[in-house]
Structure 1
Amino acid sequence: MTYIIDRANMLTNNGVEQTSLLIKNNQVEFIRPALDNFKYMKMNMSRYLLTPGYVMPDFSLNSSLHFTQFKEIMIHKLMKKGCTAVLTVVSIQYEKELDSAVKNQRQLMINSPIDFYIGVKINLEKLTPSFIRSCKKLRIPVIFIEFNNEYELEKKPWGWIRDAMFSSPITLIPYPAGDHSKLLNKWKIITKKHKMSSLNECPKEHAPLEKEMLMTIGIYPEKGEIRAGSEVDYNMYDLSELSLQVDEKTFLHYDSHNPVFTVHKGRLINVNSRIIFKPGYGEECFITIPSRFIIQHTSL
């Protein structure tokens, strides 16, 4: 089916721009300011704000959940907020648990109605070159690192960790306890010094990953952007419910504003917070070019 999303107000890095999208075979064929000369069916979206489908992290989905609990988290914490891909994170105590934990998580996520990535979380003490290599074999794109103090960070043989990532970097994400600002500053210095793919802070659970984070991990531009050639993943917000300023980028508060419509791979999954839950419609996604934006990230 071919149709046009006409005159939507798309949220961009420069603010809000009115634009039209030609959709063909569940892909964005191309984007123009207007598509008046095309005769396909048009949906006038001038009263809506258009954003990409969101990628959100989650630490609560685990194999001990019953299906009803899994479904509740998916609906209320993710899908109602416009999430079309979840970064589900498995907590690991020891390297020997990794294979079974990831296998169980993949089994759990078979029922996912949205796309998903699998990450792991482990204490800094247990982060070893061997663990990194095991994660690479399992195609894990991110590792959340728990740590409590600066001494832990300073004594770690980071050169070995970096060498284990050669040719296929994994993005490291801090998960600190204690004095966050001081610990995160030390983390930033160390990861920049060793030129590792990393985020400077831990993203908020059940909130959209920022574009810079998606770029660093390698998820962007496959997810998190509406562009020619991309899958049809988007959210529509009612402009009358937003305090819209054209030159403002932060007027949309994800905790208090839910999208009116969410489309995932061309299929409506959210209509006025009524969720269409189709188990198994989501697919596991993998990073094809890890840390493709590492140079831009480390130069910030």
Structure 2
Amino acid sequence: MGNSRPVVSIVLPARNEAEGLRRTLPAIREAFPDAEVIVVDDGSTDETAVLATTHGATVLSSPYSMGNGAAIKRGTRAAIGEILVFMDADGQHNPADIHSLLAKLDGGFDMAVGARDGGGQANVGRSLANALYNHLASWMTGHKVLDLTSGFRAVRANRFREFLHLLPNGFSYPTTSTMAFFRSAYPVAYVHISVSKRVGMSSHISPVKDGVRFLLIIFKIASLYSPLKLFAPTALAFFLAGLGWYGYTYATHHQFTNMSMLLFSAAVIIFLIGLVSEQITSLIYRRDV
């Protein structure tokens, strides 16, 4: 790093990641000897905290697991760096790739995200789900989103702290922060990276339990960024359904039925809810200049 570069704080949320930290922390120190390293011990029952302390990291310990997003928020509040780097503690991310992320910030971006290659996805199901999220986010923002759920990213601390109140305590902080940056017109860049096989325990994400949660993320993306892009097509679908049903009942019985009225009313109500949601979203992201 050049002497002109701001102080970098590297934050690693960790829950029972002693094995991963055994490989990750020395690599971070080798690549960034002057960086502040913060390990947020999210209620671990192994030697995560002891190992992190041994390697000179600042350790923030929780008495019980609060979630990945909560760990990110705790680390962000404690960090002193002007640049924050978030990465997993399981050995999947290569600390040498941080240089590429920081180069994007030096080039004028406010967030740089490590976009995983195909081999970096845990399984086919997760790969397909991430592809769906990326496609939806790209449509919502009008920008190409290469990896919406990647937890490996570098951000300007002052920008990121604006959105701490929006971040969930669970696993979807990358989604929320990415959409928040796009919504606020803070430029986001992507850097292609390779991801190694995780070390230690298996992923904390349960495909069955978290399937519904990931589905809800899709709706959260829409409501977080531009609610009308979610509500307007839904309202249109109800309106067309009502129009189609009215056409059928008029052609067969010359009647305007209660079902048609219900569908038309639902279309109007959904559209109005979308308008109100759009105004609320605008207020959330409003910044007094």
Q: Same fold per TM (> 0.5)?
A: no
Structure having the higher helix fraction is 2
The structure with more radius of gyration: 2
Structure having the higher strand fraction is 1
TM-score of the superposed pair, with normalisation by structure 1: 0.25
Structure with higher RCO (Cα < 8 A, 6+ apart): 1
